[in-house]
Copies of this chain bind each other. A is one copy, B any other.
Amino acid sequence: MADKKSIRIGILGFGTVGQGVWKHLTQDKAALERRLGVKLVLARASVSDLKKKRAVKLPKSKLTADSFAIVDDPSIDIVCELIGGTTLARELTLRALANGKTVVTANKALLCEHGEELFEAARKEGVHYFFEASVAGGIPIIKTLREGLIANRFPLIYGILNGTTNYMLTRMEREGISYEDVLGEARRLGYVEADEALDLDGVDAAHKAVILAYLAHGKWVSLNDMFVEGIRKITAQDVEYARQLGYKIKLLAVIQRDFDKEALSVRLHPALIKKSELMAQVDMVFNGVSLTGDVVGTTLLVGRGAGQDATASAVISDIADAVYAIQGGPAPAISEEDAEVYDALGAGLRLAKPQDIASAYYLRLRVKDQKGVLAKVARVFADAGLSVATMIQHEDPGSNSAVLIFTTHLSNEAAAAKAVAKLENLDAVLETPFLLRIFNPPPM
């Protein structure tokens, strides 16, 4: 195959990303062909509705409503799976791999849920499965993790992996607007996925964290075993209180490995992070990933997380690597099908118990505005073993209640949960206490 002069590409799903890939591949084809030393042929694209109008026009002969016709077409070398979802996409990917095709995907949900099966299938067939576009499109994070920083083990990887929620939190912080208003805005702009839970409950970002955790640590973590919390309960007031304390609230994925105890923690939740941190200033639709390697120290990457063009850029870089792989070269850097490598990375590694995860906390508490309440609350903190770092009382005139904002020193989830449960039972506490983590990354 080393002298293959023409590489034929099929695209499954001709939506935003699919059209972006086709558009940019067409525009820059000569330059890319020169670099890769092959002809690139955009062979076919599949759609669910042949009649729908699209910004990128294709001749009828290139469009099909039958995705299987593409994965079964013996003339096609590379299949780009851009339909999303985990049922049909899984079936098509397995069939494409079984047919000896290289597959490029942007599908984080599929990888997260079926990565193990798909990598195994690729390995069995001796073909490749590329997925740079699945995490933080505009940031070449997969390549950086697997190739650029190959000399490293990673005690800490953390970052902002969902642009929609980051956009919402940024606008809440900049303009003081409410969660509901900014959500309405994000919907109008088309930023929110059809299944809103993917964004708002942190599921999309959690999928991406699972992929990064696998690449760094050789362990597929189930979403069920992860702590995953979205941004639905965050109020404009929380954002403002955090600001007064010198923090911003970001939805963070945190992947921590303790190499002494061989414990891995993968979690996704909103967190207060000091304003002065570069990560805190990754705003609007941008994503940011911080990688701390045992050799290189900390490297931070920032870029657009999604959108037609950034995702197309990532898909095209995978197509380039796929061309090299097809030409008979060994996989660029780590072979994702090399189970041995990942098995070794994850050997002896266990998941940290959620209750053992260390964190400092922010706690918002609405209490009756009466004598002795603070003493009772303080007693609960002391009993739970939570040490208070700061407390601010915000009066709520005319309401007979006050809002207390606590921050704590470093503690753990068990202590925090204990405190919240006890606080909730106090007569003077008027609302379910609201807890956020404070994430203090080590100095870069």
Residues of A near any B CB (own CB < 8 A): 24, 28, 31-32, 34-35, 37, 132, 137-140, 143-144, 147-153, 278, 281-282, 286, 293, 295-304, 309-310, 312-314, 316-317, 320-321, 324, 327-334, 338, 340-341, 344-345, 444
Contacts and interface: CB of A to CB of B under 8 A. Distances in A.
Contacts of A150: 32, 35, 316-317, 320
B299 A138 contact: yes
Contacts of A444: 286, 302
A282 B299 CA distance: 11
Contact of A299 (B34, B132, B139): B139
A21 B7 CA distance: 39
A26 to B, nearest CB: 12
Given A28-B295, A34-B344, A138-B299, 19 more contacts: A139-B299, A140-B143, A140-B147, A140-B149, A143-B147, A143-B148, A148-B317, A149-B313, A150-B316, A151-B320, A278-B302, A293-B313, A295-B313, A297-B303, A298-B303, A299-B303, A301-B301, A302-B302, A327-B329
- Which of A144, A296, A327 has most chain B Cβ within 10 Å? A296
A22 to B, nearest CB: 12
Given A152-B313, A304-B297, A341-B35, A332 B334 contact: no
A331 B286 CA distance: 32
A280 to B, nearest CB: 10
Contacts of A338: 35, 37
B332 A333 contact: yes
A400 B331 CA distance: 71
Nearest to A344: B34
Nearest to A288: B300
13 contacts: A31-B345, A32-B150, A37-B338, A138-B296, A140-B299, A148-B317, A278-B281, A281-B281, A296-B313, A298-B303, A299-B303, A301-B301, A302-B444
Contacts of A316: 150-151, 295
Contacts of A317: 147-151
A150 B150 CA distance: 20
Contacts of A309: 295-297
B143 A34 contact: no
A123 B165 CA distance: 48
Nearest to A334: B35
Contact of A295 (B24, B35, B144, B282): B24
A31 B147 contact: no
A17 to B, nearest CB: 12
A321 B31 CA distance: 23
A344 B28 CA distance: 13
A139 to B, nearest CB: 6
Contacts of A340: 34
- Which of A28, A138, A304, A328 has most chain B Cβ within 10 Å? A138
Contacts of A153: 28, 31
Contacts of A37: 330, 338
Contacts of A321: 147, 332-333
